[in-house]
Structure 1
Amino acid sequence: MYRAVMPKIGTAQAWRDAARQFLAAGVPPEAILWGDTSTAPDLFGVASPMQTGGQVTVPRSFISMASSVVWHSDPERFARLYAFLWRLKDAPHLMTDRGDADLSRLRRMEKNVHRCQHKMKAFVRFREIGPPEAPRRSFAAWFEPTYHTVEPTADFFLRRFSDMDWRILTPDVCAIFEGGKLTFREGEEKPALPEDASEQLWITYFQNIFNPARLMVKAMQSEMPKKYWKNMPEAAHIPQMIADAPARARAMAEAAPSLPPARMAQVQAQLAAHQSAWEGPKDSLAKDIAACTRCPLHCNATQAVPGEGPMDADLMIVGEQPGDQEDLSGRPFVG
């Protein structure tokens, strides 16, 4: 029985080297005990064989997948990768077999690691730890990743913040970038980081871009899981922002200008064209209606049909054009 212990730092390269040696020596998966530095050593295991055999070619897609899966926290990840690699050397088509259960599990692990890396890029919050007048400013951040993603994600921060010194401290592995050199070391406990002068500015910005009318709590917590909130300064304000969202949304709606729909311009033009210009005395309105010839309806009508009732009535009933009975009698609503 062989034993392969993977280090916390440089895990991806260590696994590739060990897997290459085992594969070249023809060691089957069941003959290897994989583990990391947190795994208790096996008393009966021996180190991996220092043997190099013929070249083994595997699809590049497997190398890419393995480079992510090794950073998962599943203690069986190394064994699962090697077991699939053992099958893959004789059947390269397995990398495209969507029905393969082993591949499906590895793909889910790969996706989990990628998601954790995405969260790390989004939720790391730096605080300045050095004097601002120093030639090279220095920052530090505390983060608690779900998986071992500090090392594979460090290049992102290296490219983005190459003009300053920084350190990302976690319980697992810490990334240190000082003087243009990136190094890694074992994890540590959460340090007491100083307050940052620009932190309040960031919180003010975060509160002002929050749109209460579009709040979807479940969707927000899916993108910003609660487990990360304790290390994000702006997260302390999220519960109150959620509680105030309904009232703020109502206030926004009440303060919004009520613009008429586009069709109202046409409606108002039609209304103005047919609006009565009568400005005479009300007692002579019926006589003037009877003499009206402003529209073609008078051509075939016996007489006009004015309305009835008091001019100051609180309720008015409006009907369609007069029917034959109304036309003959000269009164509305008699048919």
Structure 2
Amino acid sequence: MRRVILAPGADLDGFRRAARALVTESVAPDDVVFEDDGTASLLPEAQIAEAPPLALPKTVPPIVKDVAMHRDPERWALLYALIWRVANGERRLPEIVADPLMHRLHIMRRNIGRDIHKMHAFVRFRKVEGAEPERFAAWFEPEHHILRAVGPFFRDRFGAMLWSIHTPDGSILWDRERLAYGPPGRPEDAPAHDGFEEGWREYYGAIFNPARVNPTAMRAEMPKKYWKNLPEAELIPDLVRGAASRVGGMMDREPTRPTKREPRAALAALDAGARPRTLDELAAMIRAYEPPQDFSPKAVIGEGPVAPLIAFVGEQPGDVEDLEGRPFVGPAGRLLAKALGEVGIDRDACYVTNAVKHFKFVARGKRRIHQKPSLGEIKHYRWWLMEELTLVRPRLTVALGATALTALAGEAMPLMRSRGPARFETNGLVLPGFVTVHPSWLLRLPDEDAKAAGYESFLRDLAAAKDEAQRLAG
């Protein structure tokens, strides 16, 4: 039995060296034990020369990189089992999501993506009193070893500040020039409150919509374990308790006709120049918007990891998406997931959203029939979409269909002539893009031959988009 000792946390370099040496020596997964004990990475029984890199499919390194951040002590054994099987002939194993090993690894990757998203959303910086020059600090308790994965996000988002984030695993420090990682911190390393929070609590209470209170959904989006870090959290119990009476007061007042509001009006209550700093803040703005009467009042927010390889933008939620509150879960979404699997794109590693955030329909009996959004409606939602993509930061943005293309380009464009690589602009940045059809178009084709030909063409587009995204990622 071989014993491999790795440094605590995400010792990716140590694991790679050990995995190369083990595969070179033909050591099977059942004959090796991985341990974390804080020493340098080594194979104690013998000093092994640096082994050459392994020729692995492109889909394997991203899995290894993500799962290495997981806190499960079995992660190294699971990753070595993946590498061993791929190196011994199972080259398509990463694409077989039904395989028990891949199923578990995909769940672990999703856990990492959620943890990164939660840290992006729920870190709250507070001003350090008396610090010269002005400095901010935050305390956070991530579930996994994600510090080095989130550091660049906070550097890019708060580059003009001096700040530090302290966690039980380590610290991140930014001095406006260099990002550094330090030893574990303590809660008292960050202030418990600061003067800005009173104004923020007043704003949060003002935008709280009692007619849309859903405590279960609130806890899913903002788990209670993070409330101690959030100044607005102390208001939530009283706001929820008073929601029923506030709704009654709203119903007793004179009804008003809903009016179309430009999305920028959602920022009017914020301080001048403020913009959403996180996807959760953006989602709150979208949910607070009351769409026209021919739209469902329920907003469907995009979902997926931040900084993905690919973001897919569709038209608008359909009937199923509106009922479930998630994008791309209806027939078109299932067809997209099937096509992504066939070209080797991990659906869970992509970000998916829609250009229009509410379902537009006409009621016919008990059925709700989809209605295509107008050009004005597409442009009306465009600000939110571009803010969303600015926060998500995908390597490649794929427009699915004409509505998505119009929203991303800012003007009506011919879909079929635009099909292929593209460039979109948002907030002064240029987004590399790709244009293809919406999967719902494939479902509407008149006969099976046309559907088969359309689907093969769609697969070629997705494969080309995958290659372009990987090229951009380097």
The range that moved more, 205-214 or 49-58, is 49-58
**Equivalent in 157, 162, 165 of residue 165 of structure 1:** 162
Give runs of aligned pairs for residues 147-162 of structure 1, distance below 5 A.
Answer: 147-162=144-159
- Classify 1:97/1:178 alpha carbon distance in 2 versus 1 (closer, same or farther; 3 Å): same
1:152 shift after superposition: 1.2
1:167 shift after superposition: 0.9
Are 2:2 and 2:32, in contact at CA under 8 Å, matched by a contact in 1? yes
**In 2, Cα distance between the equivalents of 1:49 and 1:243?**
65
Give runs of aligned pairs for residues 140-289 of structure 1, distance below 5 A.
Answer: 140-191=137-188, 193-194=190-191, 195-257=193-255
- Classify 1:254/1:12 alpha carbon distance in 2 versus 1 (closer, same or farther; 3 Å): farther
- Whether 1:124 and 2:144 are equivalent positions in the alignment is no
1:10 shift after superposition: 5.6
Aligned equivalent of 2:60: 62
Corresponding letter in the other structure for 1:218: T
SS of corresponding position for 1:92: coil
1:231 shift after superposition: 1.7
- Classify 1:55/1:117 alpha carbon distance in 2 versus 1 (closer, same or farther; 3 Å): closer
1:230 shift after superposition: 1.4
Task: Provide the TM-score with structure 2 as the length reference.
Answer: 0.50
Are 2:160 and 2:176, in contact at CA under 8 Å, matched by a contact in 1? no
Show CA shifts across 1:57-93 (max 9, x none): 1122211111111111111011111011100112111
**In 1, Cα distance between the equivalents of 2:97 and 2:188?**
45
**In 1, Cα distance between the equivalents of 2:26 and 2:123?**
44
**Residue correspondences, number:** 255
- Whether 1:91 and 2:90 are equivalent positions in the alignment is yes
Are 2:5 and 2:36, in contact at CA under 8 Å, matched by a contact in 1? yes
1:49 shift after superposition: 4.7
Look at both structures and tell me which one has the larger radius of gyration over its CA atoms: 1
Aligned equivalent of 1:23: 23
1:213 shift after superposition: 0.3
1:131 shift after superposition: 4.7
1:47 shift after superposition: 5.9
SS of corresponding position for 1:27: coil
Show CA shifts across 1:251-304 (max 9, x none): 1122242669xxxxxxxxxxxxxxxxxxxxxxxxxxxxxxxxxxxxxxxxxxxx
Show CA shifts across 1:147-189 (max 9, x none): 2222211111111112222111111221122252222223232
Question: What RMSD in Å do the two structures reach over aligned CA positions?
Answer: 2.6
**In 2, Cα distance between the equivalents of 1:192 and 1:248?**
39
1:2 shift after superposition: 2.9
Aligned equivalent of 2:111: 112
Aligned equivalent of 1:315: none
- Classify 1:115/1:48 alpha carbon distance in 2 versus 1 (closer, same or farther; 3 Å): farther
**In 1, Cα distance between the equivalents of 2:178 and 2:138?**
18
Are 1:3 and 1:48, in contact at CA under 8 Å, matched by a contact in 2? no
1:103 shift after superposition: 0.5
Aligned equivalent of 1:13: 13
**In 1, Cα distance between the equivalents of 2:208 and 2:3?**
53
**In 2, Cα distance between the equivalents of 1:225 and 1:142?**
16
SS of corresponding position for 2:232: helix
**In 2, Cα distance between the equivalents of 1:47 and 1:169?**
38
Provide the identity percentage: 36
Corresponding letter in the other structure for 1:155: P
Are 1:21 and 1:48, in contact at CA under 8 Å, matched by a contact in 2? no
- Classify 1:49/1:248 alpha carbon distance in 2 versus 1 (closer, same or farther; 3 Å): farther
Show CA shifts across 1:218-273 (max 9, x none): 1111011111111211111111111011111111122242669xxxxxxxxxxxxx
SS of corresponding position for 1:60: coil
The range that moved more, 190-199 or 143-152, is 190-199
Are 1:4 and 1:48, in contact at CA under 8 Å, matched by a contact in 2? no
Corresponding letter in the other structure for 2:113: H
Show CA shifts across 1:80-137 (max 9, x none): 1101110011211111112210000000000001001000000000011165772xx3
**In 2, Cα distance between the equivalents of 1:17 and 1:152?**
21
**In 2, Cα distance between the equivalents of 1:70 and 1:191?**
29
Structure 1: 5+ residue stretches without partners:
261-335
**In 2, Cα distance between the equivalents of 1:13 and 1:220?**
39
Are 2:82 and 2:101, in contact at CA under 8 Å, matched by a contact in 1? yes
- Classify 1:158/1:8 alpha carbon distance in 2 versus 1 (closer, same or farther; 3 Å): farther
Corresponding letter in the other structure for 1:181: R
Are 1:2 and 1:48, in contact at CA under 8 Å, matched by a contact in 2? no
1:192 shift after superposition: 5.5
**In 1, Cα distance between the equivalents of 2:253 and 2:13?**
60
Corresponding letter in the other structure for 2:81: A
